[in-house]
Structure 1
């Protein structure tokens, strides 16, 4: 067996994983009745508007994080830890893209989502999903990083994302990653933010409504949180409120 050089188009992932080693993740999950979301999306399609499921998660997550400033935060340092609480809610969205024929994860930061409606969020999601990652100016920094030797790239990445005041611009204040387009029910991810949401697929499952068991479209939603920043009770509140927000779109069913 012979080794090959690490793929250049995945170097940013290597640097990112090295940077977040200090994170102390704890994992939670729940099930969300997506009947209301799907009904809302179907009604939107009838008037020519298309929303992705991740857009609803981004919208609900941003609204909830705005109500939980302790979770909309970041930490840095071991001997002298410092915590920054951010006024804006910026979401980091993980994207599966292809660069020079190499499959890679790219991340886009969507700013000020607490003050952005579904249409505005969908516009940003579509921009990043449909754009040419080889040419988009938003990914110019990543393309430059990929061209650096690994040791130099790691140093550059660390220096760029190190300052707390810059974290919300580079990592966002919460992260969302979805694998629901494939046969993935649930998973847990660490996105470098205090709160990371993992979105699985929607499947018909038994649920209880009005004391009767019915079949409904259910999505498993996970939340990982950095225990250095918040505790489990706060994280449980955040996940529960996101679940409630998603189930409130037009009422389930």
Structure 2
């Protein structure tokens, strides 16, 4: 027996319909997380591995304005490059008893340190999405009938002038808490990072093969905005920033 899509997932359907115009290309690499784990173990608080990825990615994208951008239009496409580096972070949450995906917006990460990033993640993860003002727009969207819902969503996310403050300039999604090595996702931004689990794997250090703690990191990019060389530079620099964490 078929049933209607749950109201709590209507924002996801609106998002998926909107990103059909994206022209995604997929890259991935492996990151030796030994330095990150050492920093995390020595820290005075528990940082999420996602916080390290957000910190590294924000620093890199601040140096790559071509990738910290968005495009709109088919007949006369236009690109906007943003000064702020705003992250869209997907969250596995429960709303009205239903497990759904929600997106947290972390603004101006080019100026944020690891503590500040972790504070913002904790705020979203500890709050109740049924009452948090940050998700008021999502809750309102759930109540709208389909044609109005799609129109309202497009009016909100399409204008380039405000898109960075609505869906961010890059996206991060993680399944590393499960036995998932790697995956690719399209987050509606020019750059989307997919974070897999950290696992024991052989790595080469000083010419010798030794045990290492390795994470698969994927990058999806919108080919309408940047090309593969730029995207590869972004991914390589994020990898380097994580592996050199001190």
Q: Shorter-chain TM-score category?
A: over 0.9
Partner of 2:174: 178
In the superposition, the TM-score normalised over structure 2's length comes to 0.99
Query: Cα distance, 1:5 vs. partner?
Result: 0.6
Q: How many Å separate the matches in 2 of 1:138 and 1:157?
A: 16
Matches within 5 A, 1:22-171: 22-44=21-43, 47=44, 49-171=45-167
Deviating above 3 A after TM superposition, structure 1's stretches of 4 or more consecutive aligned residues are none
Q: CA RMSD in A?
A: 0.6
Deviations 1:36-58 (A, max 9, x none): 000000000xx3x1100000000
Query: Cα distance, 1:128 vs. partner?
Result: 0.5
Deviations 1:59-82 (A, max 9, x none): 000000000000000000000000
SS at match of 1:169: coil
Q: How many Å separate the matches in 2 of 1:31 and 1:52?
A: 18
**Any gaps of 5 or more consecutive residues in structure 2?**
none
Q: How many Å separate the matches in 1 of 2:60 and 2:35?
A: 18
Query: Cα distance, 1:196 vs. partner?
Result: 0.2
SS at match of 2:21: coil
Query: Cα distance, 1:166 vs. partner?
Result: 1.1
In the superposition, the TM-score normalised over structure 1's length comes to 0.96
Q: How many Å separate the matches in 2 of 1:212 and 1:160?
A: 53
Aligned residues between the structures: 246
**Any gaps of 5 or more consecutive residues in structure 1?**
none
Q: How many Å separate the matches in 2 of 1:139 and 1:17?
A: 18
Q: How many Å separate the matches in 2 of 1:34 and 1:193?
A: 26
Query: Cα distance, 1:147 vs. partner?
Result: 1.1
Q: How many Å separate the matches in 2 of 1:245 and 1:7?
A: 41
Query: Cα distance, 1:150 vs. partner?
Result: 1.8
Query: Cα distance, 1:220 vs. partner?
Result: 0.2
